[in-house]
Each structure stands twice: as C-alpha cells, then as structure tokens.
Amino acid sequence: MPVLSAVDLKVNLPRLSVPVSLPADRVEDSAVFEVVGVDLAGPLYIKQSTKVLAVLYTCALYRALHLELVSSLSTDAFLLSFRSFVARRGSP
C-alpha cells in the first residue's frame, strides 16, 4: 500500500457562488393583484343542502389570496365574482 503525502491529497474547499440578480418584476414596486391567477374550488356544502364554489384569485407577486363564493359554474356567476373582485381590489 503506497504512502500518500500531504501534497497528493486535494482539499475540497467550498466555492463561493456569485449572487444572481432577481428578475425586474420581482424587484420593482407594484400593486397587489397586478398579476392575477384564477382557479375554482369546490363544491363546498353550506348548511345542509346548499352548495357553492370558491373562486380563488391569487396575486403572483405577493402571494396574496382573495376568495369569492359563487353559486354555480356558469359564466354569469363567474363574471359577477370578477366584477366584485375588481370593485374591491382594482383592475389587474
């Protein structure tokens, strides 16, 4: 078995990583719900026989969440929910 000297062994030193710049949309000041994602969840059963669905509006920048309840999956119910969202939070 050969004898190794200290010169033969490589020491693994930690490498310093260079910080990467964040994307411009993550650094600039912007309003909440400027970039919005929409999803539907449900049905949720309220009381004994009533079912509703939840419309989830999520802010992509600040991870905020806004919930609206709708009675059906119809376009009219969604548009009413969206109008309510815009009235409270402003236009995305």
Q: According to the model, what pLDDT value does residue 46 have?
A: 83
Residue 41 structural domain: 31-89
24 pLDDT band, cuts 50/70/90, is confident
**In-domain check, residue 71:** yes
Whether residue 89 contacts residue 64, with contact meaning beta carbons closer than 8 Å, is answered with no
pTM of the predicted structure, to 2 decimals:
0.65
**In-domain check, residue 75:** yes
**In-domain check, residue 16:** no
- Residue 28 pLDDT exceeds 80: no
Give the model confidence (pLDDT) of 34-83 as tens digits. 889 999 998 888 877 888 999 999 998 888 899 999 999 999 999 999 99
Domain count, the chain: 1
